[in-house]
Structure 1
Amino acid sequence: MTMSSSSPRTVLVTGAGGGMAAGINARLAAAGHRVLCADVSGEGSERAAQAVRDAGGRADAFTVDVGDSSSVRALREEVARAAVDVDVLVNAAGILDRKFLVDHDDSSFERTIAVNLVGPFRMIQAFSPGMISRGWGRIINISSIAGVTGYAYPSYAASKAGLSNLTRSLVIDLWGTGVTVNSICPGVVDTPMVIDAVREQIPRKVPTEEIIDPAEIGALAAFLISDEACNINGANLVIDGGATSYFQLFDRP
């Protein structure tokens, strides 16, 4: 058995049209997995699936708004009609609302929680029963170091902290089923979501002085699917260049 090997699986990735998911889709497809690209934008999901196919991988496109329970149910039914068994669920859909406490209203805060926390919960409810019935499955939640350390934008931080704790808690529900659940907590990832002001601070805030490539997130996801990761369960795996290990009382000289 080669390192990080596993049988080809069918992987459902939400938020598949986003920049971080592009690295996940590509890496999983390169490992031989079939990728079901699901995004709130039908155009975005098809573009993501086509990118995988152009690289020689297998992919299908689906549309879902994880913040809407009826949309999640419709996706589950569509996947069932296609006679596809989802072996792995990657909850990568997420939004960042750059609002401080005083700027939030109920709807803006609730939308962030709905997509970033309630959405993964709904997706897990929808697709974990099939995994349990087959005795094998992997659930990977894309959280954030914002849920570990706190963050200036409270809706995002709260949603990601909740997602990380949901990850830990679900090991109880999934006890003995053959299904594991873990989260990946990235630092600053090189996507269009990152503003220039944040990029400029990387050398002062991150000990490696590097921004994270989405492919690195994909590589970690691929490892969690692999046979060698079968006993990693309930973990929140930080990949941040050491940012959360640096207590910054003063600016680094």
Structure 2
Amino acid sequence: MTGTERVALVTGASQGLGAAIAHRLAADGHPVALLARRVPELDAVARAIRDEGGRAISVVADVTRADQMESAVERVVSEWGSLDILVSNAGVTRDALIHRMTDEAWFTVVNTHLTGAFFAARAAQRPMVERRYGRIVFIGSTSSAGWRGQTNYSAAKAGLQGMTRTLAVELGRFGITVNLVSPGHIDSELTRGTAERLGVDYAEIAAERIASNAIKRVGRPADVANAVSFFAGEEASYVTGQILNVSGKPSIV
């Protein structure tokens, strides 16, 4: 590798935001390890990156399993000699009003978004501390401010903000920055899938979001990937513990 290349690991990289982030980091010149559970989709994204001239490998793992995240980080370090950038993006939704939300819906969402991010960060910080360099970027959501039917999701994303600020304080002395990108409404497989499960016309949801935005469009995965690219780069070496909303309107949190 050259002196400007940094090895990246992106969780939840088989589609949507994760795939867009992986493509962007590869375009920035970084070798990228793509992590998810869905093997065919994951391999397809890795192949697409390689077809574009980038370097990518697939790492099959479940972010809610600490042992699998430790093994995933070990594989990346073995493959490329280091792990310099972690983007914790893996997530799911199980929306329901509180009186209808099951234990399974609560734990599935909280364990994936919050516990999974913790397992990923704990595993990744070890090689970063050794090298005195690292970039950790969590993917949050403006739903952390509260959103009807998303007690589980909003709580998990709010928790990520506290984790971001705490790890920034703990890890800064080792040359590791920790930041969070907080998307608003993004046109992705996750949001379209949520609309379908709820029996709601996605076009209506998008129109509502556009009406409330200062920038009159919905977000795109590339908008989030661009913000991640900044936090992952050398230019952000003095930026840590920050929450960056990518929502098309002024921040409310």
Q: Which amino acid aligns with 1:85?
A: S
Higher relative contact order (CA 8 A, sep 6+): 1
* CA distance in 1: counterparts of 2:152 and 2:242, whole angstroms: 23
TM, length-normalised to structure 1: 0.90
User: Corresponding residue for 1:43?
Assistant: 40
Query: Is the Cα contact below 8 Å between 1:140 and 1:221 reproduced in 2?
Result: yes
- Counterpart of 1:251 in structure 2 is none
Name the aligned partner's letter for residue 129 of structure 1. R
Q: Which residue of 2 aligns with 1:111?
A: 108
Q: Kindly indicate whether residue 235 of structure 2 is the aligned counterpart of residue 239 of structure 1.
A: no
Work out the percentage of aligned pairs sharing the same amino acid: 30
Check whether the contact 1:52–1:59 (CA below 8 A) recurs between aligned residues. yes
User: For residue 152 of structure 2, what is the aligned residue in structure 1?
Assistant: 155
State whether residues 187 and 243 of structure 1, in contact with CA within 8 Å, keep that contact through their aligned partners in structure 2.
no
Contact conserved, 1:135 with 1:179, CA < 8 A, in 2?
yes
Segment drifting more, 117-126 vs 23-32: 23-32
SS at match of 1:166: helix
Alignment of structure 1 residues 51-90 onto 2, 5 Å: 51-82=48-79, 84-90=81-87
Give every structure 1 segment of 4 or more consecutive aligned residues whose post-TM-superposition deviation is greater than 4 Å: 243-246
- Out of 142, 145, 149, the residue aligned to residue 145 of structure 1 is 142
AA aligned to 2:36 is: D
Q: Which residue of 2 aligns with 1:91?
A: 88
1:133 is aligned to 130
Per-residue deviation, 1:50? 0.9
String of CA shifts for 1:33-64, please: whole Å, max 9, x gaps.
Answer: 11101112122221111111121111111111
The residue matched to 2:8 in structure 1 has which SS?
A: strand
Say which of 220, 223, 227 aligns to 1:216: 223
* Higher deviation after alignment, 176-185 or 188-197: 188-197
**Is the Cα–Cα contact under 8 Å of residues 203 and 210 in structure 1 kept in the other structure?**
yes
Residue matched to 2:205: 198
What are structure 2's unaligned runs of at least 5 residues?
Answer: 196-201
List runs of 5+ in structure 1 lacking aligned partners. 1-5, 247-253
**Greater helix share, 1 or 2?**
2
Q: What does the per-residue CA deviation read over 1:130-151, in whole Å, with 9 as the maximum and x for residues that have no partner?
A: 001101100000001111x211
Q: Alpha carbon RMSD of aligned pairs, Å?
A: 1.7
Moved more, 73-82 or 212-221: 73-82
State the alpha-carbon separation in 2 of the partners of residues 213 and 129 from structure 1. 33
Q: Across the two proteins, how many residue pairs are aligned to each other?
A: 240
Match of 2:233 in 1: 226
Q: 1:43 to 1:243 in 2, by over 3 A?
A: farther
